[in-house]
Structure 1
Amino acid sequence: MAIPWLSALKVIPWGDVMSHAPSVLQKARDLMDRRREDVAPQPMATPNVHDDVPSLGELKNRLLTAHVQIDALQQRQSQLTQTVAELAEQNAALVSAVSGLRQTLRLLVGGLVLAFVG
C-alpha cells in the first residue's frame, strides 16, 4: 500500500510546489477579498422617513430580500464547509504519506546500520 504513495510522491515536483505556495496563497486571499467586495452587505432595516408604519408590500419586499440573503449565506457556508472537508481529507492523506515515509526512512537507516555493523 505504501508503494503507490511513494511513486506518487516521487512524481510531484515538491520544490516547485513549495516555491509557488506563497503566490498561490496570495492569489487566494486576493480572490476572497474581491469576492467580499462584490457581495457588500445590504442593510436589513431601512429607516422610515416620517416614522410611518411600513406598508404590507414594503414588509414583503424586505422579507423577500432577507430570504435571498439568507439563501446566499447558506450556499456560501455549504461551499466553505465542502472546501474545509476537502482540505481535511488532503491533510489526512499528507499525514499518512509522511508517516509512511518516516517508517521507510527508519527501516533504511536500520538496514544501513546493520550493513555497516555486519
Structure 2
Amino acid sequence: MAVAWLKVLKAVPWSEVIAAAPQVATGARKLWDTVGRKGAPAPAIDDVGIAPMPGGEDGMALLAAHIEQQDAAIAQLHGQLREASKLITELADQNAQLIAKMEAARGKIQVVGVFAAAASVLGLVSLALVLART
C-alpha cells in the first residue's frame, strides 16, 4: 500500500506544484472577493421570456408563485456559490501553507543528507586508516 503511494508521490511534478501554489491562492482569493462582494442577486423581470398565462387573478397568482420559487432557487444557488468559493479560498490557502512546509522539510532533508554523506565518507576514511595501520 505504501509503495503505491510512493509511486504516486514520485509522479507528481512538485516543482510545478510549488511554482503554481501562489497563483492558485491568488486566484481563489480573487474569486472569493468577487463572489463575496456581490449580495443576493436582484430579481430581473424579462417580458420576452414570459409565456402567455391565463387571465385573471389565478394567472397572476400562479405567475407570482413561480417568480417567488425562482427567486428562492436563485438565492439558494447564490449561497452555494458563496460557500463553494469560500471553501476554494480556504483550500488554496491550506495548499500554499502545505507547499511551504513541504519545501522547508525538503531543505531539512537535504541538510541531513549532506551530513549523512559526510559521516559516511569520514567513516570510510577512518576504516581505511585503521586497516592501513594493522
TM-score, normalising length: structure 2: 0.46
Matched to 2:112, the amino acid is L
Equivalenced residues, count:
72
Deviation readout 1:17-71 (Å, 9 max, x if unpaired): xxxxxxxxxxxxxxxxxxxxxxxxxxxxxxxxxx845712211111111001100
Shift of 1:89: 1.1
User: Partner of 2:74: helix, strand, or coil?
Assistant: helix
Q: Where do residues 73-84 of structure 1 align in structure 2 (5 Å cutoff)?
A: 73-84=77-88
CA deviation after TM superposition for structure 1 residue 92, in Å: 1.2
**What residue is the counterpart of 2:69 in the other structure?**
65
> What amino acid does structure 2 have at the position aligned with 1:100?
A
Residue segments in structure 2 that go unaligned for 5+ positions in a row: 1-52, 123-134
The 1-side partners of 2:91 and 2:120 are apart by 43
Write the letter of the residue equivalent to 1:72. Answer: Q
Among candidates 94, 100, 119, match of residue 96 of structure 1: 100
Q: Distance in 1 between matches of 2:65 and 2:120?
A: 82
Please state if 1:112 is matched with 2:97.
no
Larger RCO (alpha carbons 8 Å, 6+ apart): 1
Look up the match of 1:16. none
Match of 1:86 among 83, 90, 96: 90
- Cα shift at 1:116: 3.0
Q: Provide the TM-score with structure 1 as the length reference.
A: 0.52
What is the percent sequence identity of the aligned residues? 19
Cα distance in 1 for partners of 2:54, 2:71 equals: 24
Q: Which has the larger Rg?
A: 2
Query: In structure 2, what residue type is equivalent to 1:108?
Result: V
| Structure 1 vs Structure 2 CA RMSD | 2.5
How far residue 98 of structure 1 moved from its aligned partner, in angstroms, is 0.8
Distance 1:52 1:109 in 2: 81
Equivalent positions of 1:20-59 (< 5 A) are 52=54, 55-59=59-63
Distance in 1 of aligned mates of 2:54 and 2:116: 87
